[in-house]
Amino acid sequence: MNKYQLYRLLRKNENLKERRHPMFDKNRFMKFLLIFMWLYYAAILIFLGVTMAIGLKGAYNGVAAHHVFDGWFPIVLMVDFWIRFIMQDTPVNQAKPYTLLPIRRSFLMNVYLIRSGFSLGNLYWGFMLIPFGLIAIAVPFGWISFIGWLFGWWLLCIANGFCYLFVRTLLTKHMAWLILPVIIHGAIIAAMIVPEHSWLDMPCTLLLNGFANWKIVYILAVFAVIAILYYANFLLQNSMVYNEISKKEEVEVKNTAKMSYLNRYGRIGEYMKLEVRMKIRNKTPKMQFVMGIGFMLFFSLMMYFTDAYSGGFMKSFICLYNYIFLGVTTLIGIMCHEGNYIDGLMSRRESIYQLLRAKYYFNSFLLIIPPIIMLPLMISGKMSVWMNLGYLFFTVGVLYPILFQLAVYNKDTFPLNQKITGKQGNATQQIISFVILFVPIGVEKLATLLLGDPWGYILLMCSGIIGVATHKLWIKNIYQRFMVRRYVNMEGFRATRNS
Amino acid sequence: MNIIIQNLKKNFGEKVAVNIDSFKINSGEILGLVGNNGAGKSTLFRLILDLIKADEGTVHMMDNTRDINVAETEEWKDWTGAYVDDSFLIDYLTPDEYFQFIARISGKDPNELEQFLEKFKHFMADEIIGQKKFIRNLSAGNKQKVGIMAAMLLQPQILILDEPFNFLDPSSQSAIKHLLKKYNEETNATILVSSHNLQHTVDICPRIALLEHGVIIRDIDNKEGQAQAELEDYFEIND
């Protein structure tokens, strides 16, 4: 078998892996939802591309729309970077099944690096860039400029993809590496919004203008960056392969706190201990928690030190986001981690009911974190106390009950102890998280518009208090519906365990 | 506690996994379940434990005062202990924590747990309790021990163990045989054990059911250990 045939074989296996994933293999609805979401986001990008091309035209003293847009390209690349965590696996993981076969390791690494780095996913931004470029560049400056500009964007996405692969591979070594992109992205954002005129505006515009004018120096410079990133990735992935194969978890347990203060709550207390231990002893939930706190801090600090998020919508969004983020990341996959030991739970009487209640209390308890983080914002008057109270109660009494409904329908097991999960939720979960993140702002705006401040927030609080007061009822209802669906769910959990 | 199986059917696609017209496991009996791979042993256990849905038929647990269809209520879970595979284990707990968890949610006090662990001291061989290791970091044999012990912890009237001798070293295999026999004698619990190890099955089970393609094709009386020859003949061990 020559190298090309081997490459084709590896590619075929990867395609089969995706096609035969248990989540989609037998689920037409899931396939439909996936396609729907894909088209939905594409439509949003097209809409953004068109509106920005029209909106930015002449908006800044005659500066061309694409020059304004290009000044913000680091933001697009940052979004692109974080979205990749949902979609893209590392070459090390992809190559792992083949490492003990008689295939050269360097060949494997090259195959998967090329597949990852030059994947079609890099073209997804085209849904925004092509309509934007057609209106803002092709029409006034010609097709050659448009193609050059688009080519430049594609190269930048590829370079960004290699940056992501590098960080993600480092993350398999230690979670602390997450700080690296957070610091870099934080610094970039600071350089863009802290000074009166963005420090990056001009260099970014010049770079992409260079592509639009087909300036060879710029093209070669980006090629050189891609080559360096490729080589750095190659070295890192290569060194990580053996670590992955011979990966041995640290076996000595450091934290064996008995949490005896929870004993007073009887069985619920035991399930709460389980919840706490799941969070602190498994990499995926721990990572979600740390990321949540990190984002909360980041946005709150940005709001505190700058006027970047001083608009009404952004204030509401950040306040809601801080309250709901930990809940969304955890509860969107409610029961999915338990899928790993669902048979054990189901062989104990009413264990799911007790578990759901424990989850509710635990997640509600975590809501003491956001007001602590946002306390400086409240003291400085940048965010109102009423807004905080409104969203706090709305989260615990309205949004949590909505998220808990997923306990009835979730049936895919999420791995507990992969450093970053390969399964970040299906389309239903994505739709619910989207609804949870945006609908409450509409409710808040409507309530404050109709009733005025603070009565709108008081309304949010009251609706939340009703949810809290009736929590045993709606949790019981969820449990009963779960039990009706138990066979379907258990089958799903078993089918997706270790997949 | 009797287990009554009636007209129980489970298919996976075209494949018949379980097809049992009628079968009764008597209270206080140790029943061995044997059969080739794919015969339906684990599926039958999962059906008894209501972990998968039967296409047809019922499983009842019954004594003089109660008659419970396992698919209709959870009451039976109070007196049934089971270990089928590691999806019964919460692997990010240490064995100590796991036993405490099971004990507390089953209403056992710490003294009862201590006494229970004392009984299993020899079986655990200083490799399970106080080791400061998560269950996921234990060897397959020690995980098996934790699962078996957790199933027995609430002193069930019905105990179901799927291939309990797997992964265990010879002395642990011997120990678990004695523990199961003793437990049965002391509590008169109904015990169901599946195994590929004919010798162990014959040693501890006075009654053995032979499963083939989901059907119980033989119900063998083994009170005097007479099943050995019949099973060896069926599995063609001497050829």
Asked if B173 reaches chain A (Cβ–Cβ under 8 Å), the answer is no
The better pLDDT of the pair A309, A195 is held by A195
The ipTM, to two decimals, is: 0.93
Query: How far is it, in rounded angstroms, from Cα A271 to Cα A266?
Result: 9
The structural domains of chain A, with segments of one domain joined by +, span: 40-245, 265-496
What torsion do the CA atoms of A400, A406, A411, A412 make, to the nearest 10 degrees?
-60
Q: How confident is the model at residue A420 (pLDDT cuts 50, 70, 90)?
A: very low
Residues in A closer than 8 angstroms to B99, CB to CB, are none
Among A24-38, A192-206, A209-223, A308-322, the minimum mean pLDDT is found in A24-38
Predicted confidence (pLDDT) at residue A194 exceeds the cutoff of 50: yes
Predicted confidence (pLDDT) at residue A188 exceeds the cutoff of 80: yes
Query: How far is it, in rounded angstroms, from Cα A177 to Cα A113?
Result: 20
Count the Cβ atoms, other than its own, within 10 Å of residue A176.
Answer: 10
The better pLDDT of the pair A21, A412 is held by A412
Q: How far is B202 from chain A (nearest CA, A)?
A: 28
Predicted confidence (pLDDT) at residue A419 exceeds the cutoff of 60: no
> By percentage, how much of chain A surpasses pLDDT 90?
33
Instruction: Give chain B's residues under pLDDT 70.
Output: 238-239
CA atoms within 13 A on the CB side of A239: 10
B134/A278 touch (CB, cutoff 8 Å), yes or no? no
B74/A252 touch (CB, cutoff 8 Å), yes or no? no
Among A168-177, A244-253, B100-109, the minimum mean pLDDT is found in A244-253
Q: Please name the CATH architecture into which domain B2-85+151-234 falls.
A: 3-Layer(aba) Sandwich (3.40)
Residues in B closer than 8 angstroms to A349, CB to CB, are 74-75, 77-78
Per-residue pLDDT tens over the stretch B213-225: 999 999 999 988 8
Q: How confident is the model at residue A95 (pLDDT cuts 50, 70, 90)?
A: confident
The chain B residue lying nearest A249, using CA atoms, is B137
| pTM given for the model | 0.77
pLDDT at residue B226, rounded to an integer: 86
> B210: Cβ–Cβ under 8 A, 6 or more apart, which residues?
B34, B35, B216, B217, B218, B219, B220, B231, B234
The structural domains of chain B, with segments of one domain joined by +, span: 2-85+151-234
* pLDDT, chain A, mean: 84
Residues in B closer than 8 angstroms to A344, CB to CB, are 87-90
Predicted confidence (pLDDT) at residue A499 exceeds the cutoff of 60: no
Q: How confident is the model at residue A422 (pLDDT cuts 50, 70, 90)?
A: very low
Q: And the tokens for A150?
A: 């688009």
Q: How confident is the model at residue A427 (pLDDT cuts 50, 70, 90)?
A: low
Predicted confidence (pLDDT) at residue A421 exceeds the cutoff of 50: no
Among A137-141, A383-387, A428-432, B125-129, the minimum mean pLDDT is found in A428-432
Residues 137-156 (B) with a CB less than 8 A from some CB of A: 137
What torsion do the CA atoms of A423, A425, A426, A428 make, to the nearest 10 degrees?
170
Predicted confidence (pLDDT) at residue A382 exceeds the cutoff of 90: no
pLDDT at residue A370, rounded to an integer: 93
A347/B91 touch (CB, cutoff 8 Å), yes or no? no
> By percentage, how much of chain A surpasses pLDDT 70?
89
Per-residue pLDDT tens over the stretch A262-281: 888 999 999 999 999 998 88
The better pLDDT of the pair B57, A200 is held by B57
pLDDT, average across residues A432-458: 82
Predicted confidence (pLDDT) at residue A325 exceeds the cutoff of 60: yes
Across A4-18, A118-132, A299-313, B216-230, which has the greatest mean pLDDT? B216-230
Per-residue pLDDT tens over the stretch A112-162: 888 877 777 788 889 999 999 999 888 888 899 999 999 999 999 999 999
Q: How confident is the model at residue A248 (pLDDT cuts 50, 70, 90)?
A: low
Predicted confidence (pLDDT) at residue A100 exceeds the cutoff of 80: no
Q: What b/e string do you get for B18-53 counting C-beta neighbours within 10 Å, with b at 16 or more?
A: bbbeebebebebbbbbbbeeebbbbbbbbbbbbbbe
pLDDT at residue A497, rounded to an integer: 83
> B64: Cβ–Cβ under 8 A, 6 or more apart, which residues?
none
pLDDT at residue A426, rounded to an integer: 63
Predicted confidence (pLDDT) at residue A26 exceeds the cutoff of 70: no
